[in-house]
Amino acid sequence: MATSQLSAPTPARRALRAAFRPGPWRRGPVLVALSLLLGLLMLLHARITDRGGLGSLVETFLPWYGLFVPALLAGALWRRSPAAAVALLLPAVVWLSQFGVLLGDRSGPGGDLVLVSHNVGAENTDPAGTARTLAASGADLLALEELTPQAQVTYERELAQAYPFHAVLGTVGLWSRLPLSDTQQIDTEMNAGPLAATIPAEAKLAENRALRATVATNHGPLAVYVAHLGSVRVNPRKGYFTDSRDRNARALARAVAAERNERVVLLGDLNGTTDDRAFADLTARLRPAHDLAGDGFGFTWPASLPVVRIDHILVRGVRPEAARVLPATGSDHRPVFTRISW
């Protein structure tokens, strides 16, 4: 009995403990800090340096940062921290303002023309099956990227009946049910002009990777661009290497800026998301069809478990009515589909 009385806390000791015990609003300071940092990262991503491709890398995976919100909320509930819960409002509101619209189905009926774009993959072991699958999509215009000379023969044979008109330049091609004219190469490597001398010879791509053609429609001419921009690489010395991709994007944006036709579509593998700052000049002139009329986020790569949308259809002067990602073929990319109207 005496020992129990000696070990019992006195009123003074209880008061002292209560004074120094964190109150509900002082709990979880680390969670509060992480929530605020997450919100600021999404809000101010454009201000992150792109040295070593850091800014581009952050922007590539922006939609996925929303997954941290429920994880931090679980931590706030476990710590019983109202401060952490309130701090989560910042990243939650920022994410919803940027990507909330992508959660719903924005597609509608109607449309005058169906567009499909697909990086068919140089390692694709079943080009004939891929061609038949793409023809079955009902596309009026079919853009293919990463064509090899061997596979090109197969695609020309398999698509000849459904698409009487086609043009191939280098590794990109356009198949059409409607007449094509004015097919020309787009120099995405800037091999001409004052900037040509600044590009190292080893950095230039040997094959053509972009073309422009005019499609004759019942509503007038439609300018169609097909492009496959340079790949990105993770380099231990250079970091997230995007130099060739960014250079191609700038050249393509200049070509689109000079386009006189008011109706323009761009189909292709851009090797980046439209949230990436590298495409700011391009998206200032063309709007991603999936953002306007898609269903979900529209991730296209890798085909087995897509985590980013790097294959795009962008438009100007026409209205997307529906946009979606098609099932996987033998490629490591998934095809993208858009139905447009005038």
- Asked if residue 2 belongs to a domain, the reply is no
Structure tokens at 229: 């921009």
Co-location of 64 and 149 in the same domain: no
Asked if 293 and 342 count as a contact pair (C-beta separation under 8 A), the reply is: no
Cis bond upstream, residue 194 (ω within 30): no
CATH code assigned at 231 = 3.60.10.10
Q: 122 with 92, same domain?
A: no
Distance of alpha carbon 145 from alpha carbon 265, whole angstroms: 15
* Same structural domain, 159 and 90: no
Annotate the chain with three-state secondary structure.
CHHHHHHCCCHHHHHHHHHHCCCHHHCCHHHHHHHHHHHHHHHCHHHCCCHHHHHHHHHHCHHHHHHHHHHHHHHHHHHCCHHHHHHCHHHHHHHHHHHHHHHCECCCCCCCEEEEEEECCCCCCCHHHHHHHHHCCCCCEEEEECCCHHHHHHHHHHHCCCCCEEEEECCEEEEECCCEEEEEECCCCCCCCCCHHHCCHHHCCCCCCEEEEEEEECCEEEEEEEEECCCCEEECCCEEECHHHHHHHHHHHHHHHCCCCCCEEEEEECCCCCCCHHHHHHHCCCEEHHHHHCECCCCCECCCCCCECCEEEEEECCEEEEEEECCCCCCCCCCEEEEEEC
124 shares its domain with 88:
no
Q: For residue 211, is it within any domain?
A: yes
189 token code pair: 């490597």
Tell me: do 87 and 183 sit in the same domain.
Answer: no
Span 230-274, pLDDT tens digits:
999 887 776 788 999 999 999 999 999 999 999 999 999 999 999
The total domain count for the chain is 2
Q: What is the pLDDT of residue 191?
A: 54
Last residue of a domain, one of 103, 123, 152: 103
Q: Do 80 and 138 reside in the same domain of the chain?
A: no
Which of 103, 134, 166 represents a domain boundary (last residue)? 103
Task: Indicate whether 153 belongs to any domain.
Answer: yes
Co-location of 18 and 156 in the same domain: no
Neighbour-count burial for 288-322, b at 16+ CB within 10 Å, e otherwise:
bbbbbbbbebbbbbebeebebbbbbbbbbebbbbb
> Is residue 6 in some structural domain?
no
Q: Are residues 91 and 228 in the same domain?
A: no
Half-sphere exposure of 264 (CA within 13 A, CB side): 22
5 is a domain residue: no
Average pLDDT value for the chain: 90
> 48 and 75: one domain?
yes
Task: Answer yes or no: is 3 within a domain.
Answer: no
Query: Within this chain, do residues 90 and 225 fall inside the same structural domain, yes or no?
Result: no
Domain extent, residue 72, equals: 11-103
pLDDT recorded at residue 23: 67
Question: Which residue bears the tokens 């509900």?
Answer: 24
Domain check: are 61 and 145 in the same one?
A: no
Phi and psi for 49 in degrees, rounded to 5? -60, 145
User: Which residue positions in the chain have pLDDT lower than 70?
Assistant: 1-9, 11-23, 190-206, 238
Q: What's CA 96's distance to the chain center, in Å?
A: 17
Report the pLDDT value the prediction gives residue 241, as an integer from 0 to 100.
Answer: 87
Place of tokens 């019942």: 218
Per residue in 5-39, pLDDT (tens digit) is 545 667 666 655 554 555 677 788 999 999 999 99
One domain, residues 22 and 78: yes
Residue that terminates a domain, selected from 63, 81, 103: 103
Report the amino acid identity of residue 332.
D
Share of the chain above pLDDT 90, in %: 81
Residue 202 lies in a domain: yes
Does any domain span residue 96? Answer: yes
CB 95 within 8 A of CB 41: no
- If we measure between CA atoms, which residue out of 169, 264, 165, 266 comes closest to residue 221? 264
Q: Note the pLDDT of residue 52.
A: 86
